Amino acid sequence: MISIKELSKVFYTKDQNVRAVDKLDLDIEKGEIYGVIGYSGAGKSTFIRLLNRLEEPSDGSVTIDNENVTQLNKSKLRVARQEIGMIFQHFNLLWSRTVYDNISFPLEIAGVKKEERKKRVNELIDLVGLSGRGESYPSQLSGGQKQRVGIARALANNPKVLLCDEATSALDPETTDSILDLLVDINRKLGLTIVLITHEMHVIRKICHRVAVMEEGRIVESGNVLDVFLYPKQKVTRRFVDQVMGDPDREHSLGLINETYKSGEIVKLHFIGESTNQALISELSRAFTIDVNILHGKITQTQKGAYGTLFVQFVGDKEEIDRAITYIQTTSVQVEVNPDE
């Protein structure tokens, strides 16, 4: 659906040249919700603006539905952008226009007739949960309601792709969840391809199918969200995963665990999908002559299923501990002995 090859963006200044996006390659499948995560300065906002040429690339190509967007002239680009909706962090609404008129605006530009516009706008108002607010002005809406208007406006021309530029970072956690639920609903109902950038792993965890991690203009890690949670390879990725798993200072925590619990073995258990319901600890206590101390753990949910981690200490005869670990390896629970950085 979206194919990005060698995409680069360099900003030229008097003092230095800044390479915001550096030879980025990425393929996004039709109908998926693809997340791009990175800290401030990683290049993710520039990247998403390159997809519809709000920023002009310095090099490389962006192909959407078999059309090379980077090669289009201005008139063809205007037409192509009607199939690429975009929502923004700070809503970008027209404050002098009502909800109805904000949503209608892109249809007016596209030359859609009045009756057809009216039908489409009313459909979208219902879709985003704003029934009865069509005559309200943005100043009369909450942050979440404003973003719903932004989403409806982005969907006005039946786009194939929806780009979300930090769409929830200006919202409180409860409102963020309601907007994310709406995006999932839209994705399922319309089969819309969604590209979402964020600096919050909670957003990736909740709605994305796949994720790419950006750092210094490059993708340093990518894959299915559950796989990235399970096996984060880069330090920056582990920091993002720890946002959700409740251990923002993972390195210190592991050091403290290893320093405090020096006897036996420290084991990290990974529970995936149905294994999160498995009564493994009680099974181990019954089957083996060992003491099992639970040190730290958490379970969270992704689009691909539940994922949990549990740090435990096994105390007892080393041979018996090894037997217990071997038993765990025969189950659906994954085990990591003496985990460290």
End position of a domain, from candidates 244, 270, 304: 244
Residues 332 and 215 in one domain: no
160 shares a domain with 266 = no
Strands 59-64, 17-28: pairing is: unpaired
**Of the candidates 218, 244, 270, which is a domain's last residue?**
244
Output the CA–CA distances (angstroms, integers) from residue 74 to 2, 63, 108, 264, in the order listed.
20, 16, 19, 68
- Write the CB contacts of 300 (distance below 8 Å, at least 6 apart in sequence): 205, 229, 244, 245, 306, 307, 308
Question: What is the spatial distance between Cα 236 and Cα 243, in angstroms, rounded to a whole number?
Answer: 11
Q: Which amino acid is at 112?
A: V
* Domain co-membership, 140 together with 251: no
Residues 230, 255, single domain; the answer is no
SS3 percent helix, strand, coil of the chain, rounded to 5, is 40, 30, 30
Q: Which residues contact 104 (CB under 8 A, 6 or more apart)?
A: 117, 121, 156
Q: Which domain holds residue 287?
A: 247-337
- 111/163 same-domain check: yes
Instruction: Give yes or no: residues 180 and 85 share one domain.
Output: yes
Choose one of 214, 244, 274: the last residue of a domain. 244
Query: Does 105 lie in the same domain as 176?
Result: yes
**5 φ, ψ to 5°?**
-125, 125
Same domain, 149 and 286: no
CATH code of the domain in which 288 resides: 3.30.70.260
Q: Are residues 146 and 240 both part of a single domain?
A: yes
Cα 283 to Cα 246: distance, rounded to the nearest angstrom: 26
Question: Are 152 and 289 in a shared domain?
Answer: no
- Per-residue pLDDT tens, the chain, 341 aa: give them: 999 999 999 998 888 889 999 999 999 999 999 999 999 999 999 999 999 999 999 999 999 999 999 999 999 999 999 999 999 988 899 999 999 999 999 999 999 999 999 999 999 999 999 999 999 999 999 999 999 999 999 999 999 999 999 999 889 989 999 999 999 999 999 999 999 999 998 899 899 999 999 999 999 999 999 888 878 889 999 888 877 765 544 444 555 555 555 667 888 888 876 655 568 888 898 999 999 888 877 777 777 667 778 888 899 999 999 999 999 988 888 888 877 54
Nearest to 328 by CA among 270, 243, 277, 289: 270
Domain count within the chain? 2
